[in-house]
Amino acid sequence: MTTFCNTRAYSRRQFLSLLATGALMPLLPSCLAKNLAINIGFHDWPGYEPTLLAHSLGWSDDKLINLIQTQSISDSIRQLEQGKLDGVGLTLADVLRAREMGIPLSVILVCDISTGAGQFLVRPEIKELAAIKGCRIAVEEGVLGALMLHQVLQMANLSLADVMPVELSVDQQLDAWQRGAIDAVLTYESASLAIMKLGGVRLCKRSVPPDLMVNVFAVRAELLDFAHSAALHHMVNVHLQAIEYLNTNADDAMYRMAAHFQLPAEQVMVTFKSLVLSDLEHNIRMLGTTEPYLLKSATAIADIMLEAGILHKPVELAGLLKVDYLPVSR
């Protein structure tokens, strides 16, 4: 017989008496608890910004959601492994890699999709893709950086051995460019503008096919229970509400986000260029149909990751998507 805990036996009368006084509450399993808080981590990325905007607007309940800033994608995954985070903002590719590593993540919300946010910039003297052979190429650590580099090398008919990858976070790339420490950089729209002002040239329009660069919120599978349901519903709901606010009250939203971006308010919207923020309708299409579009994207991404050697075996996609936490209607 399954027991809830290792404790002494009580008579029915004793049990009911203790339950009434609350003395047994610490012994009850977590599945009977409710409204437990969740720790959600995120690194700097515009697609996660609506969650911070919701917090700025006072919509986010701190008793349900603890927002934790991480230094990078790798730091987010490391904290997941250590049990410090319950959920995290990641690219879909990173979610697939984490699942292969044994971290049982499920996607509960699509944050954004790139329409060309991945950029490949080179020094002006590099006139064609084949000329990147032997070059020092800055790549963000993590799966997406490796995926972007693989795509560029394929277009150039080169292998990884033909170039010198330099792992740099996005905020380190500009300094490396200024110091002449790199010849080319795989970066994002928000960071590419500053590098282009310093002579960087966009050699190819897109280093990652559209719809493959997807950012999501994913949580550990063991949190998909009654105890954390209120927190997960709340997090998804306030994020989607903040997207509506951004669309209808752009000036105030930009002012609120400016401090986090460390930009003048009028420049904030530039960081969202080439990104499609996923509202409720888009999330339903991506997660909630009989043939979810995100599942097709995950299959395509997994195939590319296998080809690039980023994944080492076919990934199990069962349980990857959870539509349960989307609002029924707005």
Cα gap 17→5, rounded to integer Å:
19
Question: How open is the CA angle 172-178-182, to the nearest 5 degrees?
Answer: 70
For residue 151, the model assigns a pLDDT of 86
Least confident of 109-118, 218-227, 248-257: 109-118
Average pLDDT, the chain: 86
Q: pLDDT tens digits, residue range 267-307?
A: 888 888 778 999 999 999 999 888 999 999 999 899 989 98
- Quickly list H helices, 25-162: 49-56, 73-81, 92-100, 143-155
The share of the chain scoring above pLDDT 70, in percent, equals 86
Flag whether pLDDT at 157 surpasses 70.
Answer: yes
Flag whether pLDDT at 24 surpasses 60.
Answer: no
> The CATH number of 118-204 is which of 3.40.50.10800, 3.30.420.130, 3.40.190.10, 3.40.640.10?
3.40.190.10
Please state which CATH class domain 35-115+212-308 belongs to.
Answer: alpha beta
Flag whether pLDDT at 103 surpasses 80.
Answer: yes
Mean pLDDT (whole number) for 24-48: 75
Burial 218-233 (b: 16+ CB within 10 A, else e): bbbeebbeebbbbbbb
Where are the CATH 3.40.190.10 domain residues in the chain? 35-115+212-308, 118-204
Flag whether pLDDT at 102 surpasses 80.
Answer: yes
Of 106, 142, 138, 111, the residue nearest 122 (C-alpha): 138
pTM of the full structure: 0.81
Mean pLDDT (whole number) for 58-81: 93
For residue 211, the model assigns a pLDDT of 60
Length of the chain in residues, anyone?
330
